[in-house]
Amino acid sequence: MGSFWNELKRRNVVRVAVAYALVAWVALQVIDFALEVISAPHWILQVSALLAGIGFPAVLVFAWVYEVTPEGLKLEKEVKREVSIAQQTGRKLDRAIIGILVLVVVTLGLRLFVFPDDNAIRSDADRSGVESIAVLPFEDYSENRDQEYFSKGIAEEILNLLAKTNSLRVAARTSSFAFAGDDTDIREIGRKLQVSTVLEGSIRKAGPTVRITAQLIDVDSGYHLWSETYDRDFVDIFKIQDEIAASIINSLKVHLLGDDSTPVVSERAANVDAYSAYLIGRERMSLRTQQDIIAAREQFEEALQIDPDYAPAHVQLAHAWLLLEQDRFGGADMDRSLVDAAVNPHLSRALELAPDLPEAVAVLGFQHLRRFRYAEAAAAFDRALTLNPNYALAYNWRADTAYEQGRFLDMLADKERAYALDPMSLEISADLAYEYRSFGRPDDADRVIKRMFDLHPGHVLAYQAALDNLDAMGHESEAALLAEQAIAAHPDDANFKDWLAYMLLEMGLLDETIAIGLDEPNFTAFMLQGRNADAKLVIDRQLRESNPSERWLLNASFYSEIVDGAAGRPQRAALMARLIAKLDAEKRPWKNRCAPWFADSLQQAGFNDEADIILDVCRQRYGQRLEAGYLCPCEWFGLVVFTLLDNDIDLAVQRTEKWLDDGDSASFVKILPVFKRLADRPEYASLLARNDAEVARERAHYLAVRQARN
């Protein structure tokens, strides 16, 4: 045996085997990556691996029988030992193997770090091996293509029933229905949705009959695990939907659910037109723009005009109102009492009609969350998730209650669960990117945002998330350039003009800021230019509003502090009294909120007791967050302000230095009265100089790129 092994080595068979195995591995990695890029069938990789395996013994036999000589290949038995160059060939093979090993390391690095698998972001449920499925909208193959509501209705009914099971992870409707009418390969859909199986189907209506086909597909292999065809008389479509959905669920239990016997209840509209309007509303709402949510609200209202007892339409109408009151959807100045007047009747009616409808319970929790009733919100979300363990938005909303309780790791876990269930949701993706950024994981935040653009090219919320990320990391020049792209893509979206104005302001491009014509950035720009009269005009115009916003009352106090000094304290006291009355009337828990700028204005107005209450909250909240390693860079200067108000000047210097070390800056720092508390420190001048230098650097970069682009 020993002599045979020595002969294998002498003939370089062992070296050839090692080289072949390494080259085959690298080749299969390249093929696998290429197939992912072009969404090719998985069997191509399997065939390639089979061919590589078949070739292995053939190569070994070839290396044993033939030898390389100066005259070319010869049969080994024809080469005399004294003239054999097998030893020199072996040394060349050794060098080749070393080179291939380097290529192996490079390939591993590329797959792990440069082109990571989208499954890198996984929830605990994913890692535990729980079965997962996405239900795609059924295709309408009817001759007139007029059964879309029916095909989507069947898929939605199946999805709703599956989502209420405890032993299955079900991709959310937002994500799975995004592939309606799409010819993307099943393997690619599974990769994007991070599921192991996909249920797809079709309907074909011909005269009085309808044929429904459903099939369950394994994502990795592309093979059908199960398929079935159902022929029915097309009389009562809702009866057909319920019957087919129940039949499919029973079949899927064999393949996916095991002994799960969770009871499920269907919530169905009594009228086809009502249900169709509801489905259209759901589609529009998932796009998460102000215009789409308004259009969705109108569809839900239409559904309820047709069928006033359709509980899901009541729920989604309430949800639409609660979304539209958010700043990002244009609701910064909406009267919350008017929103509640619109929401409450629909939520009450939905819970009366269907007290165990998960969506109704969760949206009630969302309303509690929006109204700062955190204990009630958490209880509602827990109940909704008991009713539907696959409810992505409920996880996302419940995370906010964990934040309020200082349970930051629980918060992140819920955000990741939501993302795993609904990876195509722009709202959930943007929230998760913020959390990753706050936990000091900017690469993960970037990956989520990149995926938002990949899945929803040019979408408003994708731009918004990217702008948030760039600004948080102190990249004002890049944020300004991206805001210009966003404006070009969405010229009617006021948020992007606001973004551009603020980024120009932070870079000290004051005239360009003012040219955009937005009051709040203009106010600060006027103050920086010493144009106090112009700033006062803006303040007066805003305060003439019947119910000026919190930020304008704070801006007015800030103006008085800079311009009027000690003489303006009575005016500031009146402004702060007005603001406190406003917050109390809106039932906003301002005494439980960490708001350093508010505390500063209260101090300057003589409301020291109230300021101390807020500073105590900040002391606790910042302590929790710093201990957990959870603080967005975008909030770091707020920590500096709190530290100054807390009179810890040494620590304030250190935290300002860290803020600058991290690459952040702002043009308006030099006019902030609170920052002038450092004026007696020897570091004060250097801190201002460093800030000015960083502002100038960002400004120069922005102007250079803009000039080159133009």
Q: What is the mean pLDDT of residues 50-68?
A: 75
Percent of the chain predicted with pLDDT > 90: 49
In-domain check, residue 151: yes
The bridge status of strand 66-69 relative to strand 139-140 is unpaired
Looking at the fold, whether 111 and 128 belong to one and the same domain comes out as: no
Residues 656, 547 share a domain: yes
* Residues 99 and 190 grouped into a single domain: no
Nearest to 138 by CA among 191, 204, 223, 226: 204
Q: Which residue has the tokens 């990956």?
A: 447
**Mapping DSSP to helix (H, G, I), strand (E, B) and coil, where does residue 177 land?**
helix
Residues 55 and 145 in one domain: no
- Domain check: are 70 and 139 in the same one? no
**pLDDT surpassing 60 at residue 118:** no
538 in the same domain as 674: yes
Mind giving me the DSSP string for 368-399? HHHTT-HHHHHHHHHHHHHH-TT-HHHHHHHH
Domain count, the chain: 3
Q: Which residue has the higher pLDDT, 305 or 109?
A: 305
Is residue 13 included in any domain, yes or no?
Answer: yes
**Looking at the predicted structure, is the pLDDT value of residue 109 above 70?**
no
- In this structure, the number of other CB atoms found within 10 A of the CB of residue 657 comes to 15
- What 3 state SS string does 319-338 have? HHHHHHCCHHHCCCCCCHHH
User: 255: pLDDT confidence band, cut at 50, 70 and 90?
Assistant: low
pLDDT of residue 672: 92
pLDDT of residue 204: 84
Across the range 423-452, mean pLDDT stands at: 91
Which candidate, 464, 407, 406, places its Cα nearest to that of 433?
464
Q: What is the pLDDT of residues 550-572, one digit of tens each?
A: 999 999 999 999 999 999 999 99
468 pLDDT band, cuts 50/70/90, is very high
CA separation for the pair 543, 263 (Å, rounded): 56
Is 5's pLDDT higher than 70?
A: no
Q: Return mean pLDDT, the chain.
A: 84
Give domain status of residue 567, yes or no. Answer: yes
Rounded mean pLDDT, 43-54: 71
Within this chain, do residues 564 and 647 fall inside the same structural domain, yes or no? Answer: yes
Residue 208 CB neighbours (<10 A): 9
The answer to whether residue 333 sits within a structural domain is no
Residues 546 and 686 in one domain: yes
Lowest mean pLDDT among 5-14, 29-38, 446-455: 29-38
Flag the least confident range among 48-52, 289-293, 360-364.
Answer: 48-52
The per-residue pLDDT for 597 is 94
Last residue of a domain, one of 87, 115, 143: 115
Containing structural domain, residue 590: 532-709
Residues 6 or more apart whose CB falls under 8 angstroms from that of 64 comprise: 8, 11, 13, 76
- Domain's final residue, options 199, 228, 257: 257
- The answer on pLDDT for 13 being more than 90 is no
- The per-residue pLDDT for range 120-164, each reduced to its tens digit, is 444 443 444 457 888 888 888 877 776 776 777 778 778 877 777
Residue 119 is classified by DSSP as G
Quick one: pLDDT at residue 145? 72
pLDDT greater than 70 at residue 266: no
- C-alpha to C-alpha distances, 659 to 345, 355, 399, 645, 650, nearest whole angstrom: 48, 50, 27, 17, 14
Q: Are residues 597 and 687 in the same domain?
A: yes
Q: Is 632 inside any structural domain?
A: yes
592 and 667, same domain (yes or no) = yes
Task: Provide long-range contacts, Cβ within 8 A and 24+ apart, for 304-309.
Answer: 304/274, 306/271, 306/273, 306/274, 306/277, 307/269, 307/270, 307/271, 307/274, 309/270, 309/353
CATH number at residue 211: 3.40.50.10070
Q: Which of 198, 223, 186, 221 minimizes the C-alpha distance to 133?
A: 198
pLDDT for 121 equals: 42
Q: Which tokens sit at 446?
A: 């970037």
Look at 94-108, 110-124, 491-505 and tell me which has the smallest mean pLDDT: 110-124
Amino acid at 19: A
Looking at the structure, tell me whether residues 622 and 553 fall in a common domain.
yes
Whether 479 maps to a domain, the answer reads no
pLDDT digits (tens, 9 = 90+) for 229-244: 878 776 666 677 767 7
76 is a domain residue? yes
So what's the pLDDT on residue 353? 93
Is there a single domain that holds both residue 50 and residue 14?
Answer: yes
What does the alpha-carbon distance between residue 154 and residue 169 come to, in Å, rounded to a whole number?
Answer: 19
Which residue, of 199, 233, 257, is where some domain finishes? 257
Specify the pairing of strand 72-75 against strand 139-140. Answer: unpaired
pLDDT given at position 616 = 96
Residue 107 vs residue 602, higher pLDDT: 602
CA-atom Rg of the chain in angstroms? 32
Query: In terms of pLDDT, which residue wins out, 227 or 612?
Result: 612
What is the average pLDDT across 173-187?
76
Grade residue 263 by pLDDT with cuts at 50, 70 and 90: very low
Residue 477 lies in a domain: no
Residues 539-548 pLDDT 10s: 999 999 888 9
Q: What is the pLDDT of residue 568?
A: 92
pLDDT the model gives residue 58: 81
